[in-house]
Amino acid sequence: MNVVPSLDPASPRVRFGAELRRLREAAQLSQAAVAARLGRTQTQVSRLEKATRTPSKSDAERLDRLFGTPDGVSFTRLYQRIVTQPGAPVWFRSWVEEIEPTARILRSWDPLLIPGLLQTEAYARHLFSGGRQIGREEVEQHVEARMQRQRILDRDNPPIYLALIDKGVLRRRIGGGELMREQLDHLIEIAQRPAVAIQVVDPECVAGLAGAFMIAEFAGGEPDAVHADSSVQGHITTDCDHVSATWKRYEVIRLWAYPEHVSLRIIEKVRREWT
């Protein structure tokens, strides 16, 4: 399993985990005992304490019933602070905070945009600014959250990231020519990393039209997880049937992908076209 990046000790999720461990040990309860009361596994409780798992509302409510609110500690209030933090939307936080940092391999497909893990700051800012009724401060919060998410690729032991991108994405104008040149330069640069592979997919690939998705693969026999986009919000699941169907679609799309060295030449060619 990859090493989880350092976490902000001031974050409410870290505080949630620290208080859980403190109160559990004070009550002389094992992680397994707390897990039984929460309806969770011991591993899930361990991840809550390490702040590598985002608690649910029911986790917080059951912990308040189990421990009360000693010293004014309320897990429900901590949970509310977690879900109201700026950055990624609530439904996506479990992916960003728990799944991506612990994945061994990440695979993605995007028919419309440069994937979030590969976006430049300027590209991301233009996306968050365009067509959304949000203020400048909120835009910057979203941009910072995206840049922070990308730090998993900078770790000493990063996940392997295999990105499939529709060829049309390279010519889709996001901002101006300078922004697009910078973005494609970034793709060329990051593709040189041993843990990153970028393949351009022929636009005639019909299987890719159903939308973007990511597949997270873990070590130790844990089930794969899938994040699939929708028109309203994404859907995250480990359901065997959904994961299997997404894997099949990924393999069909990959058959339409150009080899890595050819893909880089395509990116370089399109980069020169942007003026």
Q: How far apart are the first and last CA of the chain?
A: 44
Please report where in the chains the tokens 């844990």 appear, as a residue.
222
194-245 tens-digit pLDDT? 999 999 999 999 999 989 999 999 887 788 989 987 655 568 888 889 999 9
Q: What is the Cα–Cα distance from 139 to 243, expressed in whole angstroms?
A: 32
Domain ranges across the chain: 12-83, 90-273
Put simply, whether the predicted model's pTM sits higher than 0.75 gets the answer no
| CATH 3.30.930.10 for the 12-83 domain, yes or no | no
User: Could you give the C-alpha distances from 250 to 51, 164, 220, 254, in angstroms and in order?
Assistant: 31, 9, 22, 6
Fold entry, domain 90-273: Endonuclease; Chain A (3.30.870)
Question: Which residues of the chain are modeled with pLDDT < 50?
Answer: 1-6, 87, 91
